[in-house]
């Protein structure tokens, strides 16, 4: 690790100001950033910790029935506090990493990082969530822009995420055996006006919506509705844990399982 400055502001405004310094970087739970720094692959001059900002913490229900989660809320807190209102989301959070990761890692950090094998991007895209930053609100459909790439500007902070709560939802995560991130993960959410299906871990372009399945499931929310549908393996990732064809195949299997578990 190279040397760096450290700040822990108490307000979003102070954090934004601190991040104005050159090569300053936000620190969520550090579960991705710190290992990268230890390997000397990242070298921020200053880390601005978001964990001391009260307004970025916790889970609460809004009047319209949606759920707001502070950007610095840990996976463990989401697992515990979202369980009643949005069990599929809480369940997803409870299966990220191990207890140490869940007690540190944050929803904002996960979404900002947008690892192609991460879980939260599937929930955000599958729920049609809104990413709230210090500057604006971004629809999930506009937010994810490819591997480790998002709509966030330099120094922009995810202060919260607003999730519409579906009638039924489920996340199926097929583990990559070494990292235990998602080799493929599928988030299915059924809303009054249709079904959303978001797939993580699989595509060369990061998390994506499987629109054929969405149409079929919006017409009939049953596992059989997915029969015969197949994602094109060409755009899938292939590596030592799974070929393109295998990932494409798993998407179908996991989508059916998610529908079965949700209905």
Partner 1 sequence: MPKDSGIGASPKRREDLRFLTGTGNYTDDINLSGQAYVHFLRSDVAHGKINGIDTAAAAAMPGVIRIFTGADFEGVGSIPCGWQVTDRHGQPMQEPAHPVLAQGKVRYVGDAIAAVVAESREQARDAAEAIELDIEELPAVIDMKEAVKEGAPKVHDDLTSNLCYDWGFVEENKPAVEEAFANAAHVTTLELVNNRLVANPMEPRVAVGDFNRATGESTLYTTSQNPHVIRLLMGAFVLGIPEHKLRVIAPDVGGGFGTKIFHYAEEAFCTFAAKALNRAVKWTSTRSEAFMTDAHGRDHVTKIELALDAENNFTAIRTDTYANMGAYLSTFAPSVPTWLHGTLMAGNYKTPLIYVNVKAVFTNTVPVDAYRGAGRPEATFQLERVIDKAARELGVDPIALRRQNFITEFPYATPVAVEYDTGDYHATMDKLIDVADFAGFKARRAESEKNGKLRGLGVNCYIEACGIAPSNLVGQLGARAGLYESATVRVNATGGLVVMTGSHSHGQGHETSFPQVIADMIGIDESMVEIVHGDTANTPMGMGTYGSRSLAVGGSAMVRATEKIIAKAKKIAAHILEASDADIELKDGQFSVAGTDKSLAWGDVTLAAYVPHNYPLEDMEPGLEETAFYDPANFTYPSGAYACEVEVDPETGKITIERFAAADDFGNIVNPMIVDGQVHGGIGQGIGQALLEGCVYDENGQLLSASYMDYAMPRADDLPFYQVDHSCQTPCTHNPLGVKGCGEAGAIGSPPAVVNAVVDALQSAGKDVTHIDMPLTPNRVWSAMNS
Ligand X SMILES: Cc1cc2nc3c(=O)[nH]c(=O)nc-3n(C[C@H](O)[C@H](O)[C@H](O)COP(=O)(O)OP(=O)(O)OC[C@H]3O[C@@H](n4cnc5c(N)ncnc54)[C@H](O)[C@@H]3O)c2cc1C
| Helix, strand, coil content of the chain in percent (nearest 5) | 35, 25, 40
DSSP letter for each residue of 29-89: S-TTHHHHHHTTS---SEEEE-TT-GGG--EEE-TTS-EEEETT-BHHHHHHHSTTT-HHH
Q: CA–CA separation, 181 vs 176, rounded Å?
A: 6
Q: Which of the stretches 82-90, 110-118, 205-213, 218-226 binds ligand X when contact is defined by CB under 6 A?
A: 110-118
How many CB atoms are located within 10 Å of the residue 42 CB? Answer: 17
User: Per CB under 8 A, does 178 bind partner 1?
Assistant: yes
Q: Which of the stretches 23-31, 189-197, 216-224, 244-252 binds ligand X when contact is defined by CB under 6 A?
A: 23-31
243 binds, among ligand X, partner 1, none (CB under 5 to 8 A by kind): partner 1
Q: Return the number of the residue (132 or 182) whose C-beta is nearest partner 1.
A: 182
User: Per CB under 8 A, does 34 bind partner 1?
Assistant: no
- Interface mask toward partner 1 for 155-174; x: CB under 8 A: -------------------x
DSSP symbol at 243: -
Do the Cβ atoms of 141 and 125 come closer than 8 Å?
Answer: yes
How many CB atoms are located within 10 Å of the residue 79 CB? Answer: 18
# chain residues binding ligand X, by CB under 6 A = 31
Q: Could you tell me the smallest distance in angstroms from the CB atom of residue 120 to ligand X?
A: 6
Q: Return the number of the residue (120 or 208) whose C-beta is nearest ligand X.
A: 120
Contact residues for ligand X, defined by CB under 6 A: 25-33, 50, 71-72, 96-97, 101, 104-106, 108-110, 112-113, 115, 118-120, 157-158, 180-181
């Amino acid at each position: 690790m190279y040397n760096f400055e450290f700040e822990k502001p108490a307000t979003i405004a102070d954090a934004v100001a601190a991040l104005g310094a050159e090569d300053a970087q936000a620190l969520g739970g550090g579960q991705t950033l710190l290992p990268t720094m230890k390997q000397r692959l990242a070298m921020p001059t200053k880390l601005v910790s978001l964990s001391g900002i009260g307004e970025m913490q916790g889970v609460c229900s809004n009047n319209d029935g949606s759920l707001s989660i502070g950007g610095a809320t840990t996976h463990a807190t989401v697992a515990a506090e979202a369980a009643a209102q949005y069990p599929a989301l809480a369940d997803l959070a409870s299966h990220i990493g191990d207890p140490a990761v869940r007690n540190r890692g944050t929803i904002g950090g996960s979404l900002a990082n947008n690892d192609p094998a991460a879980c939260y991007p599937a929930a955000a895209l599958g729920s049609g969530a809104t990413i709230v930053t210090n500057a604006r609100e971004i629809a999930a459909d506009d937010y994810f822009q490819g591997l480790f790439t998002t709509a966030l500007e330099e120094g922009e902070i995810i202060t919260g995420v607003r999730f519409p709560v579906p009638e039924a939802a489920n996340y199926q995560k097929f583990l990559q055996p070494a990292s235990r991130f998602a080799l493929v993960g599928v988030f299915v959410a059924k809303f009054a006006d249709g079904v959303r299906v978001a797939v993580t871990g699989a595509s060369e372009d990061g998390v994506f919506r499987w629109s054929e399945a969405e149409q079929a499931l919006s017409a009939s929310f049953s596992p059989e509705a997915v029969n015969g549908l197949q994602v094109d393996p060409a755009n899938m990732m292939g590596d030592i844990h799974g070929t393109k064809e295998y990932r494409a195949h798993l998407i179908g299997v996991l989508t059916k399982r998610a529908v079965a578990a949700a209905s």
